Structure 1
Amino acid sequence: MTTVDDLLHLLVLEKVNDYVFNGISETIGSPIVFGGQVLAQAINAASRTVSNQRSLHSMHAYFLEAGNLNYPITYNVAVVRDGGSFSVRRVTAHQNENTIFILAASFHIHESGYSHQIKMKSGLKQPEALLSWTDILNLFGDSLPKGLKAFFEVDRPIEFKPTEIVNPSDRKDLPPFIDVWFKLKGDAKNLDLATKQQILTYISDYNILVSALNPHASKAHWGNTQTASLDHSMWYFRDFDFNDWMLFSIESPSSASARGFARGNIFTRDGKLIASVAQEGLMRPIEKK
Structure 2
Amino acid sequence: MNEALQDLLDLLDLEQIEENIFRGQSRSAVVPRVFGGQVAAQALVAAGRTVPEDRLAHSLHAYFLRIGDPGVPIVYTVDRMNDGRSFTARRVVAVQHGQPIFALSASFQRPEEGFEHQEPMPDSPDPATLPTSEERLRAYGHLDRAVVDRFLEARAAVDVRYVDEPPYGKFGEPREPHSQVWFRTNGKLGDDPLLHVVLATYVSDMTLLDSVLLAHGRGGWAVGDVVGASLDHAMWFHRPFRADEWLLYDQQSPSASGGRGLGQARIYTQDGRLAISVIQEGVVRAPRA
**TM-score, structure 1 length as denominator?**
0.93
State the match for 1:11 in structure 2: 12
State the match for 1:268 in structure 2: 269
Which whole-Å CA distance do the structure 1 matches of 2:205 and 2:162 have between them? 15
Report 1:128-167 matches (<5 A): 128-138=128-138, 140=139, 142-145=141-144, 148-155=147-154, 156-166=156-166
State the match for 1:115 in structure 2: 116
Note if contact 1:36-1:201 (Cα within 8 Å) is conserved in structure 2.
Answer: yes
Deviation per CA, 1:152-175, whole angstroms, max 9, x where unpaired? 332520011100125746511111
1:260 alignment partner, SS class: strand
Note if contact 1:248-1:267 (Cα within 8 Å) is conserved in structure 2.
Answer: yes
- Residues 146 and 254 of structure 1: CA distance in aligned 2, closer, same or farther (over 3 Å): farther
Which whole-Å CA distance do the structure 1 matches of 2:270 and 2:219 have between them? 32
Compute the RMSD of aligned alpha carbons: 1.8
State the match for 1:278 in structure 2: 279
Aligned residues: 284
Shift of 1:146: 5.4
Note if contact 1:141-1:149 (Cα within 8 Å) is conserved in structure 2.
Answer: no
Counterpart of 1:157, as a letter, is A
Shift of 1:134: 1.1
Which whole-Å CA distance do the structure 2 matches of 1:225 and 1:243 have between them? 32
Shift of 1:151: 4.1
Which whole-Å CA distance do the structure 1 matches of 2:57 and 2:19 have between them? 19
1:118 alignment partner, SS class: coil
Deviation per CA, 1:203-251, whole angstroms, max 9, x where unpaired? 110100111111111x664313210000000000111223432110001
Report 1:7-46 matches (<5 A): 7-46=8-47
Shift of 1:51: 1.7
Counterpart of 2:216, as a letter, is H
Identity, % of aligned pairs? Answer: 37
Which whole-Å CA distance do the structure 2 matches of 1:202 and 1:220 have between them? 22
State the match for 1:214 in structure 2: 214
Shift of 1:60: 0.3
Shift of 1:286: 1.5
2:131 alignment partner, SS class: coil
* Structure 1 runs, 4 residues or longer, greater than 6 Å off: none
Shift of 1:191: 2.4
Shift of 1:142: 4.1
Query: Can you give the 5+ residue segments of structure 2 that lack an aligned partner in the other structure?
Result: none
Which whole-Å CA distance do the structure 1 matches of 2:141 and 2:174 have between them? 24
**TM-score, structure 2 length as denominator?**
0.93
- Residues 54 and 153 of structure 1: CA distance in aligned 2, closer, same or farther (over 3 Å): closer
